[in-house]
Amino acid sequence: MATLEPLVRVTGTATPLPLDSIDTDVITPMHRVMDGTIVEHAFETLRTGPDGSPIPNPFDDPRHADDEILVTGANFGCGSSRETAVWAIRGMGYRVVIAESFGDIFFANCFKNAVLPVVLPPAEVGHLLRVAEQGMPVTVDLEDCTVATGERTIAFRVPALRRTALLEGLDDLDVALRMDDRITAFEDADRAARPWVQLGR
Amino acid sequence: MTAPRTMFAKVWQEHVVTSLSDDVDLVYIDRHFTHDLSGPFSMKTLEDRDLACRRPDLTFALPDHGVSTAPGRTDASADASAQLMPLFRTSTSSLGITLFDLDDDRQGIVHVVGPELGLSLPGTSIVCGDSHTCTQGGVGALAWGIGNTEVTQVLATQTLTVQRPATMEVRIDGDLGPHVSAKDIILHLIATHGADGGSGHAIEFAGSTVERLSVEARLTLCNLTVEFGARMGFVAPDDVTFAYLAGRPHAPSGEDWDRAVAHWRALRTDPGAAFDRRLEIDASTVGPQVSWGTSPAHSIGVDGSVPDPADAPDPATAKAWTDAQSYMDLRPGQALTGLPVQHVFIGSCTNSRIEDLEAAAAVVGDGRVAPGVRAWVVPGSQAVKREAERRGLDEVFTRAGFAWRESGCSMCMSMNGEDVPPGERCLSTSNRNFVGRQGPGARTHLASPATAAATALAGRITDAREVG
């Protein structure tokens, strides 16, 4: 049963964001989480100055208005566990985020929302940033696990199960709900082994 | 003879319900905490899908993020609370989940209350929709933060689909100098190895310094592992841990206690077990730390000066330093000591436990908060507040001019109306100095409770070692 929108292949220009350690407070500031304007105001502090005046940024560049791929630096999505950060990125139209590394919780949240996080070495990210800045197309192929530009094809790794889930649109909750018998068996065995853990039953 | 195993491997294996692939497991969750910000949305998703909470007896709900910490607070004291608390009460009630409400003696910051009540135990798996859940590794738990979708899965199935992290050992040896705390050690680690230095790893903190740390200090140490990029950090349970947990309300007792302790002792990493990575720190070389920038990695000794982007290791770091210095209104080479602050915040899941308040009060002594400084002490839980009052710490703080507040997350993040105005500077014992974290335009310097207390008295960033 597919409950997430499957992701197989994405082709098009990519948005270059050559910054490290973009945290989830920057992607969705808390006051925007509370007023429910996470997509409109995503990356607010990169897009407007303290007085609200616009500052040049890739997200408001019309050449990148329809991009589905975001290329950024190291440690993207670090910080708070707030899933609004991934919802905002998805709401902006992105299906793939390519970075040198990710905050661990953000990385997990991506898979839960059919967004593919791709980890590549700095040199490859540097190449992709240049390609993105030149407005040249990029193809991310999840079946082959490759990122292709006009110049080269770069392989990436993604956990096999996560890849299958994205390709088929499988939802972790649905899979786990079908494991109910195994979960019950685990609890029964655990109650004998660690009685202090199973508080109520 | 079995191969030597790490504590992580032993505990993880005990929790695998089934392996879904080579590196993704369905793991059982022993304790699920949920708070007012992350809980209501996921509970609504559960209700919308007509699913029940599988183990409400293993799930505990605590309001901390959106609540006001003003004395005499109600839901109406903070907009976020007025919005979230009615939903939180209705949802927890309909799902059968225990709620430690605002008027409950057990209310407080989720990561402070879990260990305090003995709900968080060695060798358990603990999750919460909050990145600082890793704090609870201080009692020897595997504890990590999760997103909303994961919260929904845990509510419905008491399991989580998780990619197995790599392992890292961080060994900390050497004696701590005066006014050097666990907070300083972990800030130093992050500054040395980067905010992504632990990405993808479960970190075991070990070494003679860690062994001598109290459980409360270990909780602080583990609290910032997420700022190191790691999913979780923990300390193997030992006699210090057992002494801390014995007699706590939800800790096992009697025969169960003896059995539990025997089990917990066997969880320690076997000699010779292999980690994917190892790091070492000589704690004796670390002084009190203060952050100058907009990442916890932008931390230096309190007696140091703001680095020059020209000295950055690469262009991306140079740009990050320049941007951070612009946001923080600092110049390369500028000393941190002596920088005027308008706000001092002692609190948050990092530094709001009784030992933190003791350390701060010891520096405050008979002193007074400098004119023009708004200084707050926010206990991490109602139990911490009561204990501090029993020890007379509240009097030390209020006599000096600190505000003595109710328990909650308060000024760590800006959703409860407790924030730092644009352009103003705050010395904070919290864990994040991100752009806008304490409010749009707020400038946050991270430091320990001792440094915060010294700074409040002087009205300027101050080395507690100079105060005495």
Q: What is the mean pLDDT of chain A?
A: 95
> What's the average model confidence in pLDDT over B192-209?
97
> What's the average model confidence in pLDDT over B355-378?
98
In tens, the pLDDT along B87-100 reads 999 999 999 999 99
Q: What are phi and psi of B178, to 5 degrees?
A: -60, 140
Interstrand relation of B16-19 and B24-28 (parallel, antiparallel or unpaired): antiparallel
Percentage of residues in chain A having pLDDT higher than 70: 98
**Surface of B (135-174) touching A: CB under 8 A:** 144-150, 152-153, 156-159, 161-163, 165
Mutation for B interface: A80, A157, A163, A164, most B CBs within 10 A: A80
Q: Is the pLDDT of residue B1 over 70?
A: no
Contact at CB, A196 and B165, closer than 8 angstroms: no
Provide the angle, in degrees to the nearest 10, between the axes of the packed helices A160-168 and A104-112.
40
In contact, B338 and B303? CB cutoff 8 Å: no
In contact, B289 and B447? CB cutoff 8 Å: yes
| Banded pLDDT at A199 (limits 50, 70, 90) | confident
Q: Is the pLDDT of residue B51 over 80?
A: yes
Please, which contacts does A144-152 make with residues 24 or more away whose CB atoms are closer than 8 Å? A147/A98, A147/A118, A147/A120, A151/A127, A152/A127
Rounded Cα–Cα distance for residues B155 and B161 (Å):
13
In tens, the pLDDT along B249-270 reads 999 999 999 999 999 999 999 9
Task: Provide the edge-to-edge strand list for the sheet that holds B232-235.
Answer: B232-235, B201-206, B166-173, B277-282
> What pLDDT, on a 0 to 100 scale, did the predictor assign at position B458?
98
Nearest to A160 among B22, B54, B316 (CB): B22
> What pLDDT, on a 0 to 100 scale, did the predictor assign at position A3?
79
* Contact list, A86 vs chain B (CB under 8 Å): 147
Percentage of residues in chain B having pLDDT higher than 70: 100
* Contact list, B161 vs chain A (CB under 8 Å): 172, 175-176
Contact at CB, A81 and B38, closer than 8 angstroms: yes
| Banded pLDDT at B228 (limits 50, 70, 90) | very high
Q: Is the pLDDT of residue A7 over 60?
A: yes
Nearest to A196 among B18, B230, B256 (CB): B256
Half-sphere exposure of B410 (CA within 13 A, CB side): 32
> What pLDDT, on a 0 to 100 scale, did the predictor assign at position B468?
62
> What's the average model confidence in pLDDT over B288-310?
98
| Banded pLDDT at B467 (limits 50, 70, 90) | confident
> What pLDDT, on a 0 to 100 scale, did the predictor assign at position B179?
97
Contact at CB, B157 and A183, closer than 8 angstroms: yes
ipTM of the shown complex: 0.95
CA-nearest of B370, B18, B271, B102 to A185 is: B18
Residue with tokens 């050497």: B174
* Contact list, B328 vs chain A (CB under 8 Å): none
- Judged by a CB distance cut-off of 8 A, whether residue B422 touches chain A is yes
Rounded Cα–Cα distance for residues B99 and B84 (Å):
14
> What's the average model confidence in pLDDT over B178-202?
97
**Surface of B (305-324) touching A: CB under 8 A:** 316-317, 319-320
What is this structure's pTM?
0.97
Task: Provide the edge-to-edge strand list for the sheet that holds B374-377.
Answer: B403-404, B374-377, B343-346, B425-428, B443-446
In tens, the pLDDT along B5-14 reads 999 999 999 9
> What's the average model confidence in pLDDT over A103-108?
95
Half-sphere exposure of B129 (CA within 13 A, CB side): 30
Contact at CB, B57 and A78, closer than 8 angstroms: no
Q: Is the pLDDT of residue B432 over 50?
A: yes
* Contact list, A195 vs chain B (CB under 8 Å): 252, 256, 259
Contact at CB, B152 and A173, closer than 8 angstroms: yes
- Judged by a CB distance cut-off of 8 A, whether residue A55 touches chain B is no
Q: Which helix (H) or strand (E) holds A118?
A: strand A116-119
| Banded pLDDT at A176 (limits 50, 70, 90) | very high
- Helix-, strand-, coil-residue percentages of chain A, each rounded to 5: 40, 20, 40
Nearest residue of B to residue A172, measured between CA atoms:
B161
Mutation for B interface: A53, A102, A172, most B CBs within 10 A: A172
Rounded Cα–Cα distance for residues B299 and B289 (Å):
6
Percentage of residues in chain A having pLDDT higher than 90: 93
Q: What are phi and psi of B294, to 5 degrees?
A: -120, 20
Q: Is the pLDDT of residue A1 over 60?
A: no
Contact at CB, A30 and B159, closer than 8 angstroms: no
Q: Is the pLDDT of residue A201 over 60?
A: no
> What's the average model confidence in pLDDT over B356-376?
98
B160-178 in b/e form (b: 16+ CB < 10 A) is bbbbbbbbbbbbbeeebee
CA-nearest of B185, B168, B178 to B281 is: B185
Residue partners of B6: CB distance under 8 A and separation at least 6: B167, B169, B204, B269, B270, B273, B274, B275
- DSSP symbol at A78: B
